[in-house]
Amino acid sequence: MEQFIRLHGLLSPGSHLVLGISGGLDSMAMLDAFCLLREQWQLRLSVAHVNFRLRGKASDADERFVIRAAEKHDLPVYVRRADTGTIAAARKESVQSVARELRYSFFSALALDLGADKIAVAHNAVDNAETMLFNFCRGAGIQGLKGISVSTVHGIIRPLQFATRSEIEYFAKAGRIRHREDASNATEKYTRNFLRHTIIPALEQRINPSLVNTLNNESAIFASCSDYLDGVVKKLENVCFSLSDTGCTLALKQFRTQHVFIQQMLVKHCFLLLGIEPNFVHIEEIVRLLRRQPGKTIDCGNGYYALRAASTIEIGKAAQSLPYVVTADCGIGVKTDEFAFSIRKHALPKSFRHDPHREYIDAARVTLPLTIRTWQPGDSFVPLGMKTRKKLSDFFVDQKISRGIKGTIPVVLSGSEIVWVAGLRLDDRFKITEHTTSVYKLSIKFFT
């Protein structure tokens, strides 16, 4: 362990450590190993234990065992008791995730209170291999394949991550180290136990007898790769995108020149900065927006959307617009917090240039003033180029307009008939034809 600590620079002489001790084999071996190093490294050691109260009397027995072990080594011991099952049920979260949060929050608070330099936990090489396999099956990408970090920016170190289970058992047997067995470690109800007791042994038997060591070597490679990519993305951060209070803006000119993998990493980085759970499908869809027309949107989940604009891709929170109804007459526009709309007389256009923010209609077919309002369930119109009605809700689906976006799109009406779904599509009944003698030009400018 000492060699591993030196190799990764986990500690300095004179460090104060909080040792997370459960009473199991791994943590008791770590406790003994640090006690052997205590004098040489001039270490200050404090023991921390969490009683999760998940196994009744057995949990209380674990607590007493850890306290006696700390006293034996003349170390201060700190215990936190928590009704983990009750907390998990109230939060509707898994017991494992709640237990992990309770454990690390206690360790971190204790380290801060004691002025400790590091928090040592007893994850070993098998734990790391299990994490890699678990993350691979979940599709966690390079970040997941790097496994468990040997050390973190929050001061957590894992000095046993080099050691296999058999090596830890050998050390414990040689040192006559006593420990407690957690009966839940034997059940395959938990995914990690299934990986440990069934999947890894099967892979070792059929494919690679040194699978754990191989996966740990791969973990180190992926960790280096991840660090490199993080550096590349960090350098491109100010070049390719900008962050604001409302979201993230990708500059298409710079973004387009990057390799597709770096594009994916940049989008993922945007997601993480915005607090969006990275999802491969959503990331791929955003990258594909490079080849889509301006105005296309992607629902990113969790209330976020991505909008393909003329020279950018905007990733942000879906607006929560309140329903509104306003009117506009010829030469008398209307302005809201979201847009400005105008209707003016116009000469008959000789040609039409596509502009989603402007539309020309047959003036004889509408009755002024026009009404501009939010979409309503049951709305329908005849999209330009079609001869039959289509529900506006179905039109939004066809256009891949997200739930959060459609409520922000102004709908322009003459009487009760939709004339224009602003920025998206004109109603075919109001288009200019060879019989048109007078024209209105509709314009809209969005502020967000």
Note the pLDDT tens digit of each residue in 397-446.
888 776 667 778 899 999 999 999 999 999 999 999 999 999 999 999 98
pLDDT at 229 over 60: yes
CATH assignment of the domain containing 358: 3.50.40.10
- 448 with 423: CB under 8 angstroms? no
Give the residue among 71, 13, 67 at the shortest CA–CA distance from 37.
13
The alpha helices in 42-140, defined as continuous H runs, are: 57-72, 84-91, 95-114, 125-138
Does residue 94 sit in the same domain as residue 212? yes
- What is residue 45's predicted lDDT score, i.e. its pLDDT? 97
Which pLDDT band holds residue 292 (cuts at 50, 70, 90)? confident
pLDDT at 273 over 60: yes
**Residues above pLDDT 70, as percent of the chain:** 97
Residue 236 within any structural domain of the chain: no
- What is residue 446's predicted lDDT score, i.e. its pLDDT? 84
Does residue 72 sit in the same domain as residue 162? yes
Does residue 191 sit in the same domain as residue 275? no
Average confidence (pLDDT) over 243-250: 83
Does residue 347 sit in the same domain as residue 415? yes
Note the pLDDT tens digit of each residue in 72-104.
999 999 999 999 999 999 988 888 889 999 999
- What is residue 193's predicted lDDT score, i.e. its pLDDT? 84
Lowest mean pLDDT among 138-147, 335-344, 423-432: 138-147
Does residue 216 sit in the same domain as residue 286? no
- What is residue 192's predicted lDDT score, i.e. its pLDDT? 80
Average confidence (pLDDT) over 336-364: 89
Look at residues 153, 186, 220 and tell me which one is the last residue of a structural domain. Answer: 220
Does residue 250 sit in the same domain as residue 110? no
Average confidence (pLDDT) over 353-366: 92
pLDDT at 343 over 80: yes
Instruction: Give the chain's domain count.
Output: 3
pLDDT at 186 over 80: no
- What is residue 202's predicted lDDT score, i.e. its pLDDT? 94
Displacement of CA 77 from its chain's centroid (Å): 36
Q: Which of 304-308, 336-340, 378-382 has the highest mean pLDDT?
A: 378-382
pLDDT at 448 over 60: no
Look at residues 317, 339, 358 and tell me which one is the last residue of a structural domain. Answer: 317
Does residue 179 sit in the same domain as residue 289? no
pLDDT at 318 over 70: no
The residue range of the domain holding 26 is 2-220
CATH assignment of the domain containing 262: 3.30.465.60
Residue 312 within any structural domain of the chain: yes
Rounded CA-CA distance 80/130 in Å is 28
Average confidence (pLDDT) over 394-398: 86
Does residue 280 sit in the same domain as residue 329? no
Residue 227 within any structural domain of the chain: no
Greatest alpha-carbon pair distance for the chain in Å reads 100
pLDDT at 226 over 70: yes
Average confidence (pLDDT) over 240-266: 89
Residue 232 within any structural domain of the chain: no
The angle subtended at Cα 154 by Cα 151 and Cα 156, nearest 5°, is 40
pLDDT at 244 over 70: yes
Average confidence (pLDDT) over 161-190: 87
Which pLDDT band holds residue 294 (cuts at 50, 70, 90)? confident
Does residue 287 sit in the same domain as residue 343? no
- How many CA atoms are closer than 13 Å to the CA of 247, on its beta-carbon side? 19
Rounded CA-CA distance 412/381 in Å is 11
Which pLDDT band holds residue 143 (cuts at 50, 70, 90)? confident
Does residue 304 sit in the same domain as residue 429? no
pLDDT, the chain, mean: 90
Which pLDDT band holds residue 301 (cuts at 50, 70, 90)? confident
Which pLDDT band holds residue 291 (cuts at 50, 70, 90)? confident
Residue 392 within any structural domain of the chain: yes
pLDDT at 447 over 80: no
| Count of CB atoms situated within 10 Å of the CB of 44 | 16
- What is residue 319's predicted lDDT score, i.e. its pLDDT? 58
Rounded CA-CA distance 112/118 in Å is 10
Q: What is the DSSP string of 406-442?
A: HTTS-EEEETTEEEEETTTEEBGGGS--TT---EEEE
Lowest mean pLDDT among 31-45, 115-129, 234-248, 380-394: 234-248
- What is residue 404's predicted lDDT score, i.e. its pLDDT? 62
CATH assignment of the domain containing 100: 3.40.50.620
Q: Which of 74-78, 93-97, 319-323, 334-338 has the highest mean pLDDT?
A: 74-78
Does residue 185 sit in the same domain as residue 45? yes
Look at residues 187, 220, 253 and tell me which one is the last residue of a structural domain. Answer: 220
Residue 377 within any structural domain of the chain: yes
- What is residue 322's predicted lDDT score, i.e. its pLDDT? 66
Does residue 132 sit in the same domain as residue 203? yes
Residue 155 within any structural domain of the chain: yes
Q: What is the DSSP string of 320-362?
A: -PPP-EEEEBTTB-EE-SSEEEEEEEEPPPSS----TTEEEEE
* β-strand partners of 329: 332
- What is residue 298's predicted lDDT score, i.e. its pLDDT? 80
Residue 239 within any structural domain of the chain: no
- List the structure tokens of 153: 């920016």
Which pLDDT band holds residue 41 (cuts at 50, 70, 90)? very high
